[in-house]
A and B are shown apart, each in its own frame.
Chain A
Amino acid sequence: MIVAERKPLDVIRQMIAPYAKVLIVGCGTCVTVCGAGGEREVSFLHDELRLAQAKNPDGMHTYSEYTIKRQCDPEFIDLLDAKAEDVDAIISLACGIGVQAVADHFPDIPVLPGVNTTFNGVSSEYGVWDERCATCGDCRLDETGGICPITRCTKGILNGPCAGPKDGKCEVSKDMDCAWVLIYQRLERLGQLDKMRRYYPARNYQVVPRPRRIVVKSNVTAGAENA
């Protein structure tokens, strides 16, 4: 799941400074779950902005808020049409995908990001998030016991560990597990330690063409169904 973090209030206030009527738009999916841009956070930002305005009466803004189910699909964004009728700017608290989709939908309104989209991650307890996937497009988790060295090793090395780990912890931080030690332990447990002996050639990140696109529907020419 996508994990994002609310931008500092100063940054948001600077972004909206030129605009009088601002619509704050939340997203009901990933950013709701990670507590960055769901309905509660939208309300909180709304409260913060109003308080800031009450205490620093320099700029005059009018705020409104709305949270839709998912900002990455145009059908849901349609619901914003009425809300965005005469606003000067939209702050989207969705991930970068949502911000762009909303911007696509409203070509005449500036759409501003309210959060920093940070990583794809997992949560194992209330309020704590850990990165797990770098969306490299070439998954090798079968070779590494289900532990991704690209995201979980600070150096992202494919043939680890490096010479740095001490007592199973990374040399970068004593609180961080060495991904390659975890991989070794997991493979040992699975009886697949031979995978540690193989050499994995370095990957060429340069050839990944961006933006990527995936088409899952078949390319069927009209009238050629029975051909």
Chain B
Amino acid sequence: MRTTDSDRKHYPRESRLEDHSLMPPCQAACPLHMDIREYVDLVAQGKIMEALAVIRSTNPFPSVCAYVCTHSCEDACRRCLVDSAVSIKAIKRFALEFGGDRMIQTEAKTTHAEKVAIVGSGPAGLACAYYLRTMGYEVTVFEAHSEIGGMLRVGIPQYRLPREVLDIEEQRLIQMGVEIRTNTRVVSLDLLFEMGYKAVFITIGAHQSLRLGIEGEESTGVIDGATFLREVNLGLKPALGNSVAVVGGGNVAIDAARTALRLGSSDVTILYRRTRAEMPAADTEIEQAEEEGIKIEFLVAPIKVSRKSDQLTVTCIRMELGEPDEKGRRRPVPIDGSEFDMNFNSLITAIGQTPQNAAEFGVRTGRGSTIQVDPQTLITNKVGVFAGGDAVTGPATVVEALAAGKRAAQRIDDYVRHRYPIDKNGTVIMDGGLSEHTIEKIRKIERLEPPVTSSKTRAHDFKPVEQVYNWQAAVSEARRCLRCGMGAEILFQDKCASCLTCLRVCPYDVPYVDESGTIQIPAEQCQACGICIAECPAKAIVMRKPSSYLHINEELEHAIKSFNKSEFKPSIIGFCCQYGLFGTGTLANLWRGARAGIWIVPVLCVAKIEPGHILRAFELGAEGVFIAGCGEQCARENTNMWIGQRSAKVRKALYEIGLEQERLAILNTSGQNEDLTAILDDFTETISRLFLASVIMQEVKR
């Protein structure tokens, strides 16, 4: 019998439960501010469905981002300072594929009378449609081409973004009730307003290639990159001949070159007027292109094109790098007298794009024919007309377009509802790098790149190049996350006895005594291991993101409820590390009832288990308790030492209470599941013996 009147809550318990976490650099860098830390952490725990839900909550088309995102999050990742960035994009792709993103259905109801027209169905337009529809507006998307997707459809080659991904997203939008009108070019905005649309969002993209402005550019055999990709993507097969030159160094140039290779041209050369360091294309794209056999000529610019029969003679000039321009890139300067001729069958120009006919709509345009909008309201000079995406910014990334669409949806909502347009963003961004001192103590784990198909086979077809992680690789890669900005915080300074325990137990030597004599735990250095929280004698420290810490008690109660209903005896509670394969693999097997009587309490690192948790498991009826960490997979080397410290304390208490010390076991696993099974068998046997003995003793006493 147990009767307690436990009163432990003299400090408001809610303050322990509040999320004080700072926005990590990856989230801050993402134009959509996706909760990357959260979903990477969930993947590390093997909770793929939950990870998918987090991904979908902030990204309208995560499947598109999983293929083509330029991942500025990875550039901001502080793991770069330790070894290399966490492979966030590939983890997201894994979560989508394994979490069943294709099966997710989206629904929306019309709650507003106002209708909104969206001109252009690129990422910005579709994102805007998605969010406006979620808010309850009737939305119509007008698309001039035969299929929706804008640059996603006509710009990005299929080997980077399979078309069924777009088809699924289109179906989802239709399911939500978004009206899609393809083959419909909008010629007059006034007509749209007459049709009853309250607001119009122009996202016509930037489909017009810039011209080289050199002699002979009009020759047959010269084609611009955007037109070329559009023709290929809409099913045509332009005749290029065997040798092809591509002018430019951006992603479109690489896309055009790799597409030409896949169409059968065996000799593809990229001509770029600066060096590799200045190339704006993504590094992996350049590497993959080179692997496929594409040559890149640096510091070369065409100055004249002439045509003889089916041969193009491109006169080029050598360049050298001069003074930096306003963007900081060094300007290429031609070297006099270095002209030379190169022969190709065709020439693709890909030196930049601008919006096509933006001025047609009567909106004010600026530099490079881009539409000018108010930076806060996103409204153009015409009332009720908003614009966004490449049409405003010039060629940019997919994720930036999605973010522009999302923001436009909010601004259009504000406009229609007569609200003041402000961005609601209260989270503090964590800034500051890792100190040398901390970096030294963080365990180095090499980044796992997702597999790619071999360069020999992939160069001849349009099948996706990047493959998805397997379960093992995704979980291991997700575990590399440093979980920035969610670590320990001295929440109750008045309770802190300045005992220095946190400073002495931290495996990373993060806490320090500042000039005023106060103990500080700098958020940007903390690695969120939770050891100081379990050790603080005043209970003054909390996790900035408390969910991962406080749930031990909840999970324990859940397990106890389950075993009280079960008839399997004796009941054994196992505190097991939830991270990594150990958690997802072994735990899942135990959970399925392979070992009757064993109930698992998943823990996010066993270093967070306090002696009180173990005592409570015994108090609530467990006959035995074991702790199983992830062994050598752990991000810290001394986790076992802390488990040892705490279990020694518990064993002493068990002894004093009259319980056998063997009832608590620590399973030192090195991630090998067979060993664990054998160890568990032994432990179960021991507990069964003790349980039987205690039952007999009780009978004898009677």
A28, A51, A60: the one within 8 Å of B657 (CB):
A51
Q: How far is the CA of A32 from the CA of B658 in the complex (A)?
A: 27
User: Judging by beta carbons under 8 Å apart, are B497 and A48 in contact?
Assistant: no
Report the minimum CB–CB distance from B562 to chain A (whole Å): 19
A54-B2 contact given A10-B656, A38-B537, A126-B501, CB 8 Å threshold: yes
For the complex, is A43 an interface residue (Cβ under 8 Å from B)? yes
Q: Looking across the interface, which residue of chain B has its beta carbon closest to that of A20? A: B3
User: Judging by beta carbons under 8 Å apart, are B656 and A28 in contact?
Assistant: no
User: Judging by beta carbons under 8 Å apart, are B538 and A38 in contact?
Assistant: yes
Q: Looking across the interface, which residue of chain A has its beta carbon closest to that of B539? A: A39
B interface residues, how many (CB within 8 angstroms): 35
Q: How far is the CA of A50 from the CA of B658 in the complex (A)?
A: 13
User: Judging by beta carbons under 8 Å apart, are A41 and B537 in contact?
Assistant: yes
User: Judging by beta carbons under 8 Å apart, are B656 and A9 in contact?
Assistant: yes
A21, A51, A61, A67: the one within 8 Å of B618 (CB):
A51
A55-B538 contact given A33-B497, A44-B611, A125-B504, CB 8 Å threshold: no
For the complex, is A174 an interface residue (Cβ under 8 Å from B)? no
Contact with A along B476-500 (1 / 0, CB 8 A): 0000000000000000001101111
Which residues of B are found within 8 Å of A19, using beta-carbon distances? none
A9-B499 contact given A50-B4, A57-B1, CB 8 Å threshold: no
User: Judging by beta carbons under 8 Å apart, are B5 and A64 in contact?
Assistant: yes
For the complex, is A159 an interface residue (Cβ under 8 Å from B)? no
Which residues of B are found within 8 Å of A141, using beta-carbon distances? none
Contact with B along A201-221 (1 / 0, CB 8 A): 000000000000000000000
Q: How far is the CA of A10 from the CA of B652 in the complex (A)?
A: 12
Within 8 A of A (CB), among B620-647: 620
For the complex, is A52 an interface residue (Cβ under 8 Å from B)? yes
For the complex, is A105 an interface residue (Cβ under 8 Å from B)? no
Which residues of B are found within 8 Å of A54, using beta-carbon distances? 1-2, 618-620
Within 8 A of A (CB), among B594-613: 611-612
Which residues of B are found within 8 Å of A39, using beta-carbon distances? 495, 537-539
The segment from B6-14, B106-114, B130-138, B263-271 that touches chain A is B6-14
Q: Looking across the interface, which residue of chain B has its beta carbon closest to that of A12? A: B656
B501, B505, B538, B659: the one within 8 Å of A28 (CB):
B538
Report the minimum CB–CB distance from A127 to chain B (whole Å): 8
Report the minimum CB–CB distance from A21 to chain B (whole Å): 8
Q: How far is the CA of A69 from the CA of B538 in the complex (A)?
A: 10
Within 8 A of A (CB), among B496-515: 497-501, 504-505
Q: How far is the CA of A48 from the CA of B655 in the complex (A)?
A: 11
Report the minimum CB–CB distance from A114 to chain B (whole Å): 14
Q: How far is the CA of A211 from the CA of B612 in the complex (A)?
A: 40
User: Judging by beta carbons under 8 Å apart, are A62 and B659 in contact?
Assistant: no
A51-B619 contact given A38-B537, A46-B6, CB 8 Å threshold: yes
Within 8 A of B (CB), among A123-165: 123, 125-126
A48-B537 contact given A33-B499, A62-B3, A64-B7, CB 8 Å threshold: no
For the complex, is A226 an interface residue (Cβ under 8 Å from B)? no
User: Judging by beta carbons under 8 Å apart, are A32 and B3 in contact?
Assistant: no
A56-B657 contact given A50-B2, A126-B505, CB 8 Å threshold: yes
A65-B2 contact given A40-B537, A47-B615, CB 8 Å threshold: no
Report the minimum CB–CB distance from A174 to chain B (whole Å): 26
User: Judging by beta carbons under 8 Å apart, are A50 and B619 in contact?
Assistant: yes
Q: How far is the CA of A194 from the CA of B2 in the complex (A)?
A: 68
For the complex, is A191 an interface residue (Cβ under 8 Å from B)? no
User: Judging by beta carbons under 8 Å apart, are B7 and A65 in contact?
Assistant: yes
Report the minimum CB–CB distance from B28 to chain A (whole Å): 35
Which residues of A are found within 8 Å of B620, using beta-carbon distances? 54
Report the minimum CB–CB distance from A65 to chain B (whole Å): 6
For the complex, is A106 an interface residue (Cβ under 8 Å from B)? no
Which residues of B are found within 8 Å of A56, using beta-carbon distances? 657-658
User: Judging by beta carbons under 8 Å apart, are B3 and A28 in contact?
Assistant: no
Which residues of A are found within 8 Å of B497, using beta-carbon distances? 28-29, 32-33, 38
Q: How far is the CA of A47 from the CA of B649 in the complex (A)?
A: 12
Within 8 A of A (CB), among B647-690: 649, 653, 656-659
For the complex, is A53 an interface residue (Cβ under 8 Å from B)? yes
Q: How far is the CA of A130 from the CA of B615 in the complex (A)?
A: 30
Which residues of B are found within 8 Å of A126, using beta-carbon distances? 501, 504-505
For the complex, is B437 an interface residue (Cβ under 8 Å from A)? no
For the complex, is B551 an interface residue (Cβ under 8 Å from A)? no
For the complex, is B536 an interface residue (Cβ under 8 Å from A)? yes
Indicate the member of A32, A55, A63 with the most B CB atoms within 10 Å: A32
Report the minimum CB–CB distance from B642 to chain A (whole Å): 11
User: Judging by beta carbons under 8 Å apart, are A32 and B615 in contact?
Assistant: no
A60-B3 contact given A38-B497, A126-B505, CB 8 Å threshold: yes
Which residues of B are found within 8 Å of A62, using beta-carbon distances? 3-5
Which residues of B are found within 8 Å of A9, using beta-carbon distances? 653, 656-657
Report the minimum CB–CB distance from B63 to chain A (whole Å): 47
For the complex, is B616 an interface residue (Cβ under 8 Å from A)? yes
Report the minimum CB–CB distance from A120 to chain B (whole Å): 16
User: Judging by beta carbons under 8 Å apart, are A65 and B6 in contact?
Assistant: yes
For the complex, is A107 an interface residue (Cβ under 8 Å from B)? no
User: Judging by beta carbons under 8 Å apart, are A48 and B6 in contact?
Assistant: no
Report the minimum CB–CB distance from A64 to chain B (whole Å): 5
For the complex, is A223 an interface residue (Cβ under 8 Å from B)? no
For the complex, is A35 an interface residue (Cβ under 8 Å from B)? yes
User: Judging by beta carbons under 8 Å apart, are B537 and A55 in contact?
Assistant: no
Q: Looking across the interface, which residue of chain B has its beta carbon closest to that of A32? A: B497
Report the minimum CB–CB distance from B417 to chain A (whole Å): 50
Q: Looking across the interface, which residue of chain B has its beta carbon closest to that of A21? A: B5
Report the minimum CB–CB distance from A178 to chain B (whole Å): 28
User: Judging by beta carbons under 8 Å apart, are B504 and A47 in contact?
Assistant: no
B1, B5, B495, B612: the one within 8 Å of A47 (CB):
B612
Report the minimum CB–CB distance from B401 to chain A (whole Å): 52
Which residues of B are found within 8 Å of A166, using beta-carbon distances? none
Report the minimum CB–CB distance from A211 to chain B (whole Å): 27
User: Judging by beta carbons under 8 Å apart, are A51 and B615 in contact?
Assistant: yes
User: Judging by beta carbons under 8 Å apart, are A64 and B2 in contact?
Assistant: no
User: Judging by beta carbons under 8 Å apart, are A47 and B8 in contact?
Assistant: no
Q: How far is the CA of A48 from the CA of B619 in the complex (A)?
A: 9
Q: How far is the CA of A64 from the CA of B9 in the complex (A)?
A: 11
Which residues of A are found within 8 Å of B5, using beta-carbon distances? 21, 62-64
Q: How far is the CA of A66 from the CA of B537 in the complex (A)?
A: 14
User: Judging by beta carbons under 8 Å apart, are A32 and B8 in contact?
Assistant: no
Q: Looking across the interface, which residue of chain A has its beta carbon closest to that of B499? A: A33
Q: Looking across the interface, which residue of chain A has its beta carbon closest to that of B2? A: A54
Which residues of A are found within 8 Å of B8, using beta-carbon distances? 43, 46, 65
Which residues of B are found within 8 Å of A50, using beta-carbon distances? 2, 4, 615, 619
Which residues of A are found within 8 Å of B656, using beta-carbon distances? 8-10, 48, 52
Which residues of B are found within 8 Å of A53, using beta-carbon distances? 1-2
User: Judging by beta carbons under 8 Å apart, are A32 and B537 in contact?
Assistant: yes
Report the minimum CB–CB distance from A14 to chain B (whole Å): 12
Q: How far is the CA of A8 from the CA of B1 in the complex (A)?
A: 23
Q: How far is the CA of A40 from the CA of B537 in the complex (A)?
A: 5
Q: How far is the CA of A61 from the CA of B538 in the complex (A)?
A: 25
Q: Looking across the interface, which residue of chain B has its beta carbon closest to that of A29? A: B497
User: Judging by beta carbons under 8 Å apart, are A63 and B619 in contact?
Assistant: no
Which residues of B are found within 8 Å of A125, using beta-carbon distances? 504
Q: How far is the CA of A28 from the CA of B615 in the complex (A)?
A: 23
Which residues of B are found within 8 Å of A83, using beta-carbon distances? 7
Report the minimum CB–CB distance from B495 to chain A (whole Å): 6
Report the minimum CB–CB distance from A43 to chain B (whole Å): 6
If A29-B497, A33-B499, A51-B653 are given as contacts, then 12 extra A-B residue pairs at C-beta distance below 8 Å, sorted by A number, are A8-B656, A9-B653, A9-B656, A21-B5, A28-B538, A39-B538, A44-B611, A44-B649, A46-B8, A52-B656, A54-B1, A54-B618
B binding-site residues for A, Cβ under 8 Å:
1-8, 10, 494-495, 497-501, 504-505, 536-539, 611-612, 615-616, 618-620, 649, 653, 656-659
Q: Could you list 12 examples of A-B contacts with CB < 8 Å?
A: A9-B656, A32-B499, A33-B537, A43-B8, A43-B612, A52-B656, A54-B619, A60-B1, A63-B4, A69-B494, A83-B7, A126-B505
Which 8 A-B pairs give the minimum distances between C-beta atoms? A38-B537, A33-B499, A9-B656, A126-B504, A47-B615, A32-B497, A51-B619, A39-B539
